[in-house]
């Protein structure tokens, strides 16, 4: 086969593969949205699931997913930013720093089901938190932390050195330089990264099966007292999230419209995750334009 012919065949094959991948995505999204969106209604989004009858909704699960995301971010962001600041500003080039990098790498490679098991053992059983939002949030923190650390470290490292030096040269302390000069400049990147990470957290299920649990108590949405067991804001109650719910329906769905509910819930889940991704991209692009324009 001549080289030219091989080149042409290869090019065709490569382009075909690329198109194939696009087709997979389009097909995937198309299937979920077409199959699921029809079932999504306001009623669907707000009513409780039914175990045996048709007509169940995903209201509590949707709320749980959102609330759990907020709780997780409240814990993960300060920890991740702190660790990221350490890695970019305080860490010296020594074995200890290499060790921390190894720790972060291993932690990010752990299967999320193992993280969930760890949560079951330590948080649910050992610390006695029971199946709860709080246990779920801590498990998700472990799952999400390596990404946050990486995002923050990269963001801070990308701050121009001269900004830091200018602040130090004025006689400001290192910490004040980090908080008042470097973090504000790094913030857009940290924000974009956090939004992307939120998408991952929102769709995560394996780590939550045995921590946040697979059930949700009757929620009284008029009760905003976080200490009351029926209040949606109580972090110590079990909280089945949307993603977990989809899995549960597919494995134990007894209602006659289980497939429709799973499709509808999947559509909602995918749309929310896509929203996160688009928002992150949009903000990232906006900030980039603002920065490069003002110079």
Contacting other proteins within 251-270 (CB under 8 A): 251, 259, 262-263, 266, 269-270
Comparing CB distances to other proteins, the nearer of 231 and 246 is 246
**Binding pattern to other proteins, positions 176-215, x when CB under 8 A?**
x-xxxx--xx-------------xx-xxxxx--xx---x-
Q: How far apart, in whole angstroms, are the C-alpha atoms of residue 244 and residue 65?
A: 9
Q: How far apart, in whole angstroms, are the C-alpha atoms of residue 277 and residue 70?
A: 17
Position among 128, 169, 218, 227 found at the interface with other proteins (CB under 8 A): 169
Per residue in 16-35, is it b (16+ CB within 10 Å) or e — as a string? eeeeeeeeeeeeeeeebbeb
Closest of 257, 237, 262, 236 to residue 247, by C-alpha: 262
Position among 34, 38, 105, 127 found at the interface with other proteins (CB under 8 A): 105
Least CB distance to other proteins at residue 293 (A): 10
Comparing CB distances to other proteins, the nearer of 48 and 91 is 91
Kindly indicate which of the ranges 39-47, 51-59, 82-90, 222-230 contains the residues binding other proteins, using the contact rule CB under 8 A.
82-90
Residue 187 has a CB neighbour count (10 Å cut-off) of: 14
Give me the count of residues in the chain.
Answer: 295
Q: How far apart, in whole angstroms, are the C-alpha atoms of residue 178 and residue 186?
A: 10
Comparing CB distances to other proteins, the nearer of 39 and 231 is 39
- Considering only residues 15 to 34 of the shown chain, the ones binding other proteins according to CB under 8 A are 15, 17-18, 20-22, 24-25, 28-29, 31-32
Residue 239 touches other proteins, criterion: CB under 8 A: no
Kindly indicate which of the ranges 56-64, 119-127, 216-224, 230-238 contains the residues binding other proteins, using the contact rule CB under 8 A.
119-127
Q: How far apart, in whole angstroms, are the C-alpha atoms of residue 295 and residue 124?
A: 53
Comparing CB distances to other proteins, the nearer of 57 and 116 is 116
Least CB distance to other proteins at residue 65 (A): 11
- Considering only residues 46 to 75 of the shown chain, the ones binding other proteins according to CB under 8 A are none
Position among 46, 50, 118, 279 found at the interface with other proteins (CB under 8 A): 118
Comparing CB distances to other proteins, the nearer of 222 and 251 is 251
């Amino acid at each position: 086969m001549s080289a030219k012919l091989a080149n042409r065949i290869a090019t065709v094959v490569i382009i075909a593969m690329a198109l194939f991948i696009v087709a997979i995505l389009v097909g995937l999204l198309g299937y979920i949205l077409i199959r699921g969106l029809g079932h999504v209604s306001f009623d669907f989004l707000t009513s409780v699931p039914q175990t045996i009858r048709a007509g169940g909704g995903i209201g509590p699960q949707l709320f749980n997913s959102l609330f759990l995301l907020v709780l997780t971010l409240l814990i993960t962001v300060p920890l991740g930013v702190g660790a990221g600041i350490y890695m970019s500003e305080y860490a010296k080039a020594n074995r200890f720093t290499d060790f921390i990098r190894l720790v972060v790498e291993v932690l990010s490679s752990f299967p999320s089901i193992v993280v969930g098991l760890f949560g079951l053992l330590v948080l649910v059983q050992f610390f006695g938190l029971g199946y709860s939002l709080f246990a779920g949030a801590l498990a998700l923190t472990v799952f999400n932390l390596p990404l946050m650390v990486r995002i923050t470290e990269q963001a801070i490292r990308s701050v121009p050195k001269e900004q830091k030096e200018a602040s130090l040269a004025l006689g400001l302390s290192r910490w004040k330089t980090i908080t008042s000069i470097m973090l504000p400049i790094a913030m857009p990147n940290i924000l974009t990264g956090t939004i992307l990470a939120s998408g991952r957290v929102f769709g995560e299920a394996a780590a939550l099966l045995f921590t946040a649990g697979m059930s949700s108590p009757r929620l009284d949405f008029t009760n905003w007292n976080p200490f009351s067991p029926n209040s949606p804001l109580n972090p110590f109650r079990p909280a089945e999230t949307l993603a977990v719910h989809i899995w549960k329906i597919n494995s134990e769905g007894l209602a006659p419209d289980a497939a429709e509910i799973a499709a509808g819930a999947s559509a909602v889940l995918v749309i929310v995750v896509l929203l996160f991704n688009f928002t992150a991209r949009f903000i990232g692009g906006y900030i980039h334009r603002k920065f490069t324009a003002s110079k």
